[in-house]
Amino acid sequence: MIVWVVSETENKGEAVQWPWIEKFIQAKGVSFPVFRDLKFFNVYKNIANYSTSLPHHYLLDGKTMERIAAAGGSNDPDFLQAVCDQLGVECPN
């Protein structure tokens, strides 16, 4: 399952509000569940920054929350392949 966890706005430390999330979802056409977790930093510090490029993408084990794969920036083919492998599907070219 793909989910997006939001904990703060671009202004680090500022709690994200639902109107901001809803606007982003509509603007980007997000079709997967979005959760607001104002204490997500507790998980984030355990998976650690992978890259300084944004956005950060993490593939986590749903039970242990351990990092399986990570990518910084967009369109990382290795990350996409890791996601496809976990889902047991063929990746698009």
| Tokens read off for 22 | 């809803």
Cβ–Cβ < 8 Å for 20, 4: no
pTM: 0.54
Which tens digits make up the pLDDT trace of 16-29?
A: 788 888 887 888 78
Q: Grade residue 43 by pLDDT with cuts at 50, 70 and 90.
A: low
Which tens digits make up the pLDDT trace of 53-81?
A: 667 788 888 788 788 888 877 778 888 88
Average pLDDT over residues 43-52: 64
Q: Where does the chain have alpha helices with state H?
A: 18-28, 41-47, 77-87
CA–chain centroid gap for 83, Å, is 12
Q: Quote the radius of gyration of the chain (alpha carbons, Å).
A: 14
